[in-house]
Amino acid sequence: MSMEISNEITSQVMDLKTSKSGVTRKEEIKTGFNNVDNYSKYLQEKYDYMNAGTMSMKGIPTTVNVSSAFLKKCMDNPEKAAWLEENVAAIPKCNEVALSRCLGTLTNISYKIDANGNMSMAISGTNDPDGKIARENAKRKVEEKKAAEEKAAKRREKEKEEHERIEKQRAKRSGKEDKADEFKISIIGTNVRSMTTQLTEKLSSGDLNGVIGIDIKA
């Protein structure tokens, strides 16, 4: 699409340049300006879209940039100046051609003339004039985002459950570790000293785990 439109625009420019009347007449082209600023102002009075940022031209956002270095070359060169004005003057017609040939929607056209007088053009647009594809893409993106959020929420919930499970296990183990084994020793005898000696021997042995009730007779 872009190549076809570009070729058509090039053809239109050539037709304008070779026509009897031409885009401009030699007597309308002024040269001999003392500085680039004055020359640029002169051109912008004739072509307000030149070096003016993005403007709507035939309903298409359009930028036309001409290098100040090339303007300097044109100031004292009638031939270059004529070429410049012919091409800049043809741009609105070129946009009209692009608009009529495009099967989609043009979103931007830019024209650029560099320091050596080389002219380039870039066209961007969409083959979705009624916005159907854009709406479907937007809907798809919303659905993908929702699915991703739901997946992330499930992952966070699973991580939370796993964390709680680990914490419960840790708390359970900690409870077991903190709880000391209980024991009870009972001694029956008739001599308190003998009973105490036997008790201290048992306590000092350290073998008390799980011991419940030991009867020691005198």
> Mean pLDDT across the stretch 2-15?
47
* Phi, psi of 35, deg, nearest 5: -155, 165
Q: Does 77 lie in the same domain as 11?
A: yes
Alpha carbon 218 to its chain's center: 91
Within-domain flag for 45 = yes
Q: b or e along 117-130 (b: 16 or more beta carbons within 10 Å of the residue's beta carbon)?
A: bebebebebeeeee
Claim to verify: residue 117 and residue 217 sit in the same structural domain: no
pLDDT score, position 129: 58
Is 54 domain-assigned? Answer: yes
Q: Are residues 111 and 210 in the same domain?
A: no
- Whether 139 is in a domain gets the answer no
Tens of pLDDT, residues 128-161? 656 666 677 777 888 888 899 999 999 999 898 8
Whether 185 and 126 share a structural domain: no
Residues 198 and 123 in one domain: no
Domain-embedded: residue 125 = yes
Cα–Cα distance for residue pair 206/49, rounded to 1 Å: 101
Residue 66: per-residue pLDDT: 96
Same domain, 192 and 112: no
- Asked if residue 202 has pLDDT above 90, the reply is no
Q: Are residues 187 and 123 in the same domain?
A: no
pLDDT tens figures, 18-49: 443 344 455 578 888 889 999 999 999 999 99
> How confident is residue 16, by pLDDT bands cut at 50, 70 and 90?
very low
pLDDT tens-digit series, residues 159-190: 988 888 888 888 877 766 555 566 667 777 77
Tell me which residue range forms the domain holding 86. 2-130
136 in a domain, yes or no?
Answer: no
- The partner residues of 62 in beta bridges, in order of sequence, read 55, 109
Is 157 inside any structural domain?
Answer: no
pTM for the structure as a whole: 0.50
The predicted model gives 182-206 an average pLDDT of 73
Q: Are residues 37 and 101 in the same domain?
A: yes
Identify whether residues 108 and 210 lie together within a single domain: no
Domains contained in the chain, number? 2
Whether 72 shows a pLDDT value over 70: the answer reads yes
Say if 142 falls within a structural domain. Answer: no
Is residue 43, in this structure, part of any structural domain at all?
Answer: yes
107 and 31 together in one domain? yes
Same-domain check for residues 9 and 69:
yes
Residues 107 and 9 in one domain: yes
| Cβ neighbours for 71, distance < 8 A, ≥ 6 positions apart | 36, 39, 40, 43, 84
